[in-house]
Amino acid sequence: MLIKLNKRSTPKSSEITPWGVYQKRRDFLKTAAIAGSIAAVAPSLLLPREAKASAFGEMVTRGRYSTDEEKTSFDAVTSYNNFYELGTGKEDPAENADKLITRPWTVTVDGEVGNPKTFGIDDLLKRYPLEERIYRMRCVEAWSMVVPWIGFELGNLLREVEPTGKAKYVAFETLVDPERMPGQTRAVLNWPYREGLRLDEALHPLTILSVGIYDQILPGQNGAPIRLVVPWKYGFKSIKSIVRIRLTETMPQTSWNMANPREYGFYSNVNPEVDHPRWSQSKERRIGDFLRRKTHMFNGYDEEVGQLYAGMDLSKNH
């Protein structure tokens, strides 16, 4: 069986049809691939190696950069969340996730690009190669998780819209719709939730747009239908339920920086040496563990991303 959906992430009826259609398309592609092999094309060239079954069909490959650390349980990843649009408590997002209807859904990519586009979500789900990336994630609140994301490199999407020579940053926005996002009836943050990256950070191959976890479509509480994942930055940079991506010449505003610039900077790289004004960042508690562990520079991804910040004072650019 290809579609294994946990009860928590069971899609609304509005999602079942597109997924059913999508699944049939995948099955068709597989059949076509096998037919192709009869016409003397090696099947290994058509089907990815290490492909595994998931809600996405057998098209997801184990990506590079995955950690082999023990994964945080599906239950913990989907029941202990920060997602203020669905409530400020850790258990609110799972409770309110059924309100977040994700069809129809579009993502507009515009700004300093030669080829601005609006993508339908079902197109985006099959447009680029999907990979499983098992990443360490660390929240500024000093807890961490290891999450098997399914997604694709943000760079694939950005290259397709052809950034102009002026593009230096990428700004992201979450949906605004108090009916689907009941937390937006309160002004706890300035909606829409906004985040931003420098263009070179956005183009780094570690930076992905995620559409699933644990072989399943992304549950609402984790940012359905599509969210950013930037594993060397504090969790809040990984913006959920994205509807707009805009390339800009100047540094974009971000929700947490607007709310409290002293506590949250634009870069927000995981850095055990630069404490949050109200607490230390040198240690973290992995969800499920009892004892705290050391926090590593750039969340342990320093070899991959350290160069991006050569010559920058990271206590000023925190």
Q: Which residues bind Mo ion (CB under 5 A)?
A: 82, 139, 235-236
HEC profile of the chain: CCCCCCHHHCCCHHHHHHHHHHHHHHHHHHHHHHHHHHCCCCHHHHCCCCCECCCCCCCEEECCCCCCCCCCCHHHHCCCCCCHHHCCCCCHHHHHHHHCCCCCCEEEEEECECCCEEEEHHHHHHHCCCEEEEEEEECCCCEEEEEEEEEEEHHHHHHHCCECCCCCEEEEEECCCCCCCHHHHCCCCCCCCEEEEEHHHHHCCCCEEEEEECCEECCHHHCCCCEEECCCEEHHHCCCCEEEEEEECCCCCCHHHHHCCCCCCCCCECCCCCCECCECCCEEEECCCCCCEECCHHHHCHHHHHHHHCCCCCCCCC
Residue 203: CB minimum distance to ligand MTE, A: 20
Q: Does 218 bind ligand MTE (CB under 6 A)?
A: no
Q: Does 84 bind ligand MTE (CB under 6 A)?
A: yes
238 contacts which partner out of ligand MTE, Mo ion, none, CB within 5 to 8 A by kind?
A: ligand MTE
Q: Does 83 bind ligand MTE (CB under 6 A)?
A: yes
Q: Does 148 bind ligand MTE (CB under 6 A)?
A: no
Q: Does 226 bind ligand MTE (CB under 6 A)?
A: no
The residue number whose beta carbon is nearest to ligand MTE equals: 235
Q: Does 82 bind ligand MTE (CB under 6 A)?
A: yes
Q: Does 81 bind ligand MTE (CB under 6 A)?
A: yes
Residue 241 or 271: which CB sits closer to ligand MTE? Answer: 241
Q: Where does this chain touch ligand MTE (CB under 6 A) — which range of 238-246, 258-266, 269-277, 296-304?
A: 238-246
Candidates 11, 220, 235, 252; binder of ligand MTE (CB under 6 A) is 235
Which residues sit at the interface with ligand MTE, rule CB under 6 A?
81-85, 139, 174, 193, 222-223, 235-236, 238-241
